[in-house]
């Protein structure tokens, strides 16, 4: 291969060079350019017409190259033989070619790019979409169309949009196919998807090879197929797929833009071909609507006599000539010369038929390349401008669904906005991109509008081997009938019920794991799945972080967490049981509040109410009796003042709440026997040095060691319920345990008939049980959906009640709940009462100050003695003052009748 490439390279240099010397032209009348096409292909025949039209338009417009004309030389690569096509494509370069439009195929571009690097002749390809051609290895290659890296990004986003995770890639095994699929794999990985199977085909593929390849694909689980091949063989592949039943319901076919190119180019396809591509999704490079595009499309029928249609590659081919013309004009304006020089390294090849010593290099190639990359014009395909990575800006694709005799555009994909139902140029104008990440409805293969699941459980797969742990006890979850391969239990019934909901049949077999004498370790069971010994695991398996790194779990079918179980002893009532409803602090606050309310009411009533007067001893007794009598609504006296009634109203509300709470709490304490535990919770277990029991094989041991940092010497593994009971009854003094930490689901069964034990405190963790499958198993997803359906239709609860219903003791009886009421529950109520008292005292004080100020000028009485006076005496003084004032006013009036009248009123 190396010698073949060297021979091609040398021949290219020979035919592109001149015999000797250097030829220079400042502003030449003619500039030679070349084009490498496959005239018979869907892309080539359209590009040929578009390039010829573009050259004619440039030459007919004197403002473009200002008198310089483009002279086009075209070569047909015929694509029947790669080697012959390359040799034919290089024959035209013997005429001092400054740039080459093409090549059309990516494979040919890889070879010719090496020659272009040596000759310094820019290659402007409108159809070579291989993403690796952008590498630094090919500096003189310029892609004037969109790279497959973006097309594969669009496909990956479509796969993610429909929530598929595995795809199968069918491709031609050449540079174009391999590099495109490699880019697809990278983009799918970014979406946490993958290519589960790659199906390469030879570039000279035949129908037999196509059939064999598709039969292998049909045996795979994935039903999402990406078809990235040449248009020459594309319709042949889908036709074979239809014949073997791979275009039916359940399949998803996504073709790259080769299919849209055929649909745009061929005015009519055979009926068989139309039937084969029904429901297929394909992509088409998006070119925004513009006046230039509409004019060129309207010309197309006259240019081709309506023999074939215009595809997007034709638009890019037309713009490539204008791009080159713009760069050449800039090149000549900058003083660039069209000159070629010999390569002295090839003089040793003097003689022979190939004339290697006559090859020459384009001296202005680097300068022209720079101008090409800096072009910024608007063409029929949109804005022509390159990014720093040499990709066209504004990359976008249309997502097309083939339906009937035509197709329907269901959305767009752009590098800026992703999927959308509106063109990206409109999204760019809008501030709100709410219509992004959407696609319209699709008619899939099989004429169905329901989204395919994207995978099936392969019918030729061997029987599913399901591992089941054999437990020493707790047979309510999993149990095996002695001497048979029949299993029963809550987990088994639930697994069978979920399998019945699946839309496909699965052959499976339960395989016991464990000897039945010691509980097996669940970590060992799950490791059998990773090694392939088991295809699934069913049992009371908790879903933990470490275990999810090994296998995939289904949706949890039961929620359970770790709890602490300890022995319970009854607490007998005593003579002071009536004090239990409130805490000591609560009793102190209540007593203080009684005293405060009595004092406040005394202050507010003593000046107006005779019931609150008398000797100091009588007033103290009145204060105490008034406050406490409110408990029984037997107040010793009435309240006359408004402020006093306001305080009393608030206080009666507080008393009502206190009475109700006290009666309810005391009733609960005296009727329901309280439980006392030697263990108060997990905190007391951690700080003590006593032994803790756990079920062997469960994740409890790792939790106690790693999360709670309890020393392993304190942990006691237990297997059966009998061992649980004995260890708790013996206690730490007799070699037992102080408490057991285990799953609540297990403890429900254990405590259902053992009322001498109970659960202390709250759950330590919130976990669930699930069925285990290999990583990235699609069966785990479908089983999760089945479990949700069982939960919705009530079947899950029925299975739970069948196996795990409580029998005797209620778990609630085992919980420590003293029920004493503390100050925290009533601080708001007490705050309200205290605020009312303070508010009333402040108003009362303001009122007294106001009265004192009115009478302060009458005598030298102090404020304290004024406060001690009764308010009736103050009222009499005010009335006396008013009478004196009226008599004085009567003497001052001269009219006697008025005086007489006023005296009568007095």
Cα–Cα distance for residue pair 230/180, rounded to 1 Å: 12
The pLDDT assigned to 88 comes to 60
Asked if the model's pLDDT at residue 97 lies above 80, the reply is: yes
**Which letter does DSSP use for residue 703 in this model?**
I
Decide which of 452 and 901 is more confident: 452
Backbone angles phi, psi at 20, to 5 degrees: -170, 165
Average pLDDT over residues 572-581: 61
Beta strands in 456-527 (DSSP E): 464-469, 479-480, 487-488, 508-513
Pairing of strands 281-285, 396-403: antiparallel
Cα–Cα distance for residue pair 204/229, rounded to 1 Å: 12
> Can you say how many angstroms the Cα of residue 889 is from the centroid of all Cα atoms in its chain?
92
Tell me the two tokens of residue 60: 């007919």
Average pLDDT over residues 506-513: 91
Tell me the two tokens of residue 440: 């319209």
* Residue count (the chain): 906
Tell me the two tokens of residue 712: 């392993």
- Which range in 250-259, 478-487, 747-756 is most confidently predicted, on average pLDDT? 250-259
Mean pLDDT check: name the lowest of 392-396, 714-718, 873-877: 873-877
- Which range in 21-25, 78-82, 93-97, 740-744 is most confidently predicted, on average pLDDT? 740-744
Decide which of 398 and 394 is more confident: 398
The pLDDT assigned to 341 comes to 84
The pLDDT assigned to 30 comes to 94
Q: Could you report the per-residue pLDDT of 748-803, keeping only the tens digit for each?
A: 888 877 777 878 877 888 888 999 999 888 889 889 999 999 999 999 999 988 88
The pLDDT assigned to 830 comes to 63
Task: Give the pLDDT band of residue 193 (cuts 50, 70, 90).
Answer: very high
The SS3 call for residue 195 is strand
Q: How far apart are the first and last CA of the chain?
A: 138
Tell me the two tokens of residue 638: 């009435």
Q: Could you report the per-residue pLDDT of 329-383, keeping only the tens digit for each?
A: 999 999 988 988 876 765 665 655 555 555 678 999 999 999 999 999 999 999 9
Asked if the model's pLDDT at residue 881 lies above 80, the reply is: no
Average pLDDT over residues 21-39: 75
Asked if the model's pLDDT at residue 323 lies above 70, the reply is: yes
The pLDDT assigned to 684 comes to 76
Q: Could you report the per-residue pLDDT of 47-70, keeping only the tens digit for each?
A: 999 999 999 999 999 999 988 999
Q: Are 35 and 75 in contact (CB under 8 A)?
A: yes
- The rounded percent of the chain whose pLDDT value lies above 70 is 76
Average pLDDT over residues 157-167: 93
Asked if the model's pLDDT at residue 465 lies above 70, the reply is: yes
Cis peptide before 275 (omega within 30 of 0): no
**Which letter does DSSP use for residue 240 in this model?**
H
Q: Could you report the per-residue pLDDT of 648-663, keeping only the tens digit for each?
A: 777 777 777 877 777 7
Using alpha carbons, list the distances in angstroms from residue 181 to 137, 149, 155, 305: 20, 10, 11, 38
The SS3 call for residue 286 is coil
Q: Are 255 and 282 in contact (CB under 8 A)?
A: yes
Asked if the model's pLDDT at residue 566 lies above 70, the reply is: yes
The pLDDT assigned to 93 comes to 60
The pLDDT assigned to 556 comes to 92
**Which letter does DSSP use for residue 486 in this model?**
-
- The rounded percent of the chain whose pLDDT value lies above 90 is 41
Residue 87 exposed, middle or buried by CB count within 10 Å (0-12, 13-18, 19+): middle
* Selection from 546, 548, 529 nearest residue 538 by Cα: 529
The pLDDT assigned to 327 comes to 96
Mean pLDDT check: name the lowest of 99-113, 744-758, 813-827: 813-827
Cα–Cα distance for residue pair 693/742, rounded to 1 Å: 8
The pLDDT assigned to 901 comes to 38
- Mean pLDDT (the chain) is 81
Pairing of strands 224-228, 508-513: unpaired
The pLDDT assigned to 26 comes to 64
Asked if the model's pLDDT at residue 489 lies above 60, the reply is: yes
The SS3 call for residue 337 is coil
Backbone angles phi, psi at 342, to 5 degrees: -75, 155
The pLDDT assigned to 677 comes to 58
Mean pLDDT check: name the lowest of 179-183, 599-603, 700-704: 599-603
**Which letter does DSSP use for residue 463 in this model?**
P
pTM for this model (two decimals): 0.67
Decide which of 342 and 640 is more confident: 342
The pLDDT assigned to 843 comes to 74
**Which letter does DSSP use for residue 812 in this model?**
G
**Token match 């708001």: residue?**
828
Decide which of 691 and 316 is more confident: 316
Task: Give the pLDDT band of residue 481 (cuts 50, 70, 90).
Answer: confident
Q: Are 152 and 184 in contact (CB under 8 A)?
A: yes
Backbone angles phi, psi at 211, to 5 degrees: -65, -45
**Token match 């070569």: residue?**
75
The pLDDT assigned to 584 comes to 80
Task: Give the pLDDT band of residue 857 (cuts 50, 70, 90).
Answer: low
Cα–Cα distance for residue pair 578/699, rounded to 1 Å: 46
The pLDDT assigned to 386 comes to 96
The pLDDT assigned to 452 comes to 92
Asked if the model's pLDDT at residue 224 lies above 60, the reply is: yes
Q: How many CB atoms lie within 10 A of CB 629?
A: 14
Asked if the model's pLDDT at residue 562 lies above 60, the reply is: yes
Asked if the model's pLDDT at residue 80 lies above 90, the reply is: no
Tell me the two tokens of residue 455: 């995978």
């Amino acid at each position: 291969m190396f010698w073949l490439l060297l021979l091609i390279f040398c021949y290219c240099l020979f035919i592109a060079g001149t015999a000797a010397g250097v030829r220079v032209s400042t502003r030449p009348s003619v500039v030679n350019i070349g084009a490498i096409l496959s005239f018979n292909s869907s892309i080539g025949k359209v590009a040929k017409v578009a390039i010829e039209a573009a050259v004619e338009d440039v030459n007919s417009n004197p403002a473009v190259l200002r008198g310089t004309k483009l002279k086009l030389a075209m070569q047909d690569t015929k694509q029947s033989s790669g080697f012959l096509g390359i040799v034919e494509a290089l024959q035209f370069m013997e005429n001092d070619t400054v740039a080459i439009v093409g090549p059309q195929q990516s494979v040919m571009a890889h070879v010719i790019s090496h020659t272009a690097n040596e000759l310094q002749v820019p290659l402007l390809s409108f159809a070579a979409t291989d993403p690796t051609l952008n590498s630094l290895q090919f500096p003189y290659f310029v892609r004037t169309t969109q790279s497959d890296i973006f097309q594969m990004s669009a496909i990956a986003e479509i796969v993610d949009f429909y929530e598929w995770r595995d795809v199968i890639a069918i491709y031609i095994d050449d540079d174009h196919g391999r590099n495109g699929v490699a880019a697809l794999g990278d983009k799918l990985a970014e979406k946490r998807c993958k290519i589960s199977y790659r199906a390469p085909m030879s570039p000279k593929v035949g129908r037999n090879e196509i059939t064999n390849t598709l039969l292998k694909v049909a045996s795979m689980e994935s039903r999402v197929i990406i078809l990235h091949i040449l248009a020459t063989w594309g319709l042949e592949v889908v036709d074979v797929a239809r014949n073997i039943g791979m275009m039916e319901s359940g399949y998803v076919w996504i073709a790259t833009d080769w299919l849209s190119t055929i649909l745009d180019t061929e005015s009519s396809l055979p009926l068989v071909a139309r039937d084969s591509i029904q429901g297929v999704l394909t992509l088409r490079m998006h070119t925004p609507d513009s006046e230039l595009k509409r004019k060129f499309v309207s010309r197309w029928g006259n240019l081709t006599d309506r023999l074939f249609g215009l595809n997007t590659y034709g638009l890019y081919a037309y713009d490539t000539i204008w791009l080159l013309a713009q760069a050449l004009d800039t090149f000549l304006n900058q003083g660039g010369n069209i000159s070629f020089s010999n390569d002295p390294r090839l003089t040793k090849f003097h003689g022979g038929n190939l004339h290697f010593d006559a090859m020459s290099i384009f001296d202005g190639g680097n300068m022209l390349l720079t101008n090409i990359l800096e072009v910024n014009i608007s063409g029929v395909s949109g804005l022509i401008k390159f990014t720093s990575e040499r990709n066209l800006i504004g990359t976008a694709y249309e997502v097309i669904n083939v339906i009937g005799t035509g197709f329907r555009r269901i959305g767009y994909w752009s590098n800026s906005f992703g999927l959308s139902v509106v063109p990206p140029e409109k999204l760019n104008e809008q501030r709100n991109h709410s219509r992004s990440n959407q696609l319209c409805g699709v008619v899939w293969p099989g004429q169905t509008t329901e989204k395919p699941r994207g995978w099936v459980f392969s019918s030729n797969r061997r029987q599913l081997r399901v591992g089941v742990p054999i437990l020493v006890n707790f047979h309510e979850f999993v149990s095996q009938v002695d001497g048979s391969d029949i299993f029963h239990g809550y987990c088994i019934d639930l697994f069978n019920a979920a399998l019945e909901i699946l839309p496909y049949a699965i052959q499976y077999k339960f395989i016991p794991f464990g000897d039945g004498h010691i509980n097996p370790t669940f970590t060992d069971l799950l490791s059998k799945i990773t090694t392939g010994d088991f295809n699934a695991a069913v049992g009371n398996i908790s879903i933990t972080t470490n275990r999810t790194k090994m296998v995939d779990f289904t949706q949890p079918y039961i929620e359970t967490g770790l709890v602490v179980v300890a022995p319970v002893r009854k607490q007998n009532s005593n003579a002071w049981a009536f004090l239990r409803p409130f805490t000591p602090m609560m009793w102190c606050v209540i007593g203080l509040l009684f005293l405060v309310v009595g004092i406040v009411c005394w202050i507010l009533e003593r000046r107006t109410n005779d019931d609150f007067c008398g000797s100091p001893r009588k007033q103290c007794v009145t204060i105490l009796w008034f406050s406490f009598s409110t408990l029984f609504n037997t107040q010793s006296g009435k309240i006359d003042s408004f402020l006093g009634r306001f305080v009393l109203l608030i206080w009666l509300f507080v008393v009502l709440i206190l009475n109700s709470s006290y009666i309810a709490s005391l009733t609960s304490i005296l009727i329901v026997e309280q439980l006392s535990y030697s263990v108060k919770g997990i905190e007391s277990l951690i700080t003590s040095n006593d032994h803790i029991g756990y079920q062997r094989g469960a994740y409890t041991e790792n939790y106690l060691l790693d999360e709670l940092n309890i020393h392993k010497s304190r942990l006691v593994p237990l297997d059966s319920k009998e061992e649980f009971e004995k260890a708790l009854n013996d206690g730490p003094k007799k070699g037992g345990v102080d408490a057991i930490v285990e799953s609540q689901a297990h403890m429900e069964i254990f405590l259902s008939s053992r009322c001498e034990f109970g659960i202390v405190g709250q759950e330590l963790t919130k976990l669930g049980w699930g069925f285990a499958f290999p990583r990235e198993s699609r069966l785990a997803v479908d089983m999760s959906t089945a479990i949700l359906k069982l939960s919705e239709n009530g079947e899950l609860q029925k299975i739970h009640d069948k196996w795990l219903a409580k029998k005797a003791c209620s778990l609630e009886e085992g919980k420590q709940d003293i029920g004493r009421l503390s100050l925290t529950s009533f601080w708001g109520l007490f705050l309200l009462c205290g605020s009312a008292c303070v508010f009333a005292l402040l108003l009362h004080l303001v009122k007294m100050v106001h009265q004192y100020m009115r009478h302060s000028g009458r005598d030298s009485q102090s404020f304290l003695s004024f406060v001690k006076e009764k308010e009736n005496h103050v009222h009499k003084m005010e009335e006396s003052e008013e009478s004196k004032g009226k008599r004085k006013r009567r003497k001052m009036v001269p009219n006697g009748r008025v005086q007489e009248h006023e005296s009568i009123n007095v």
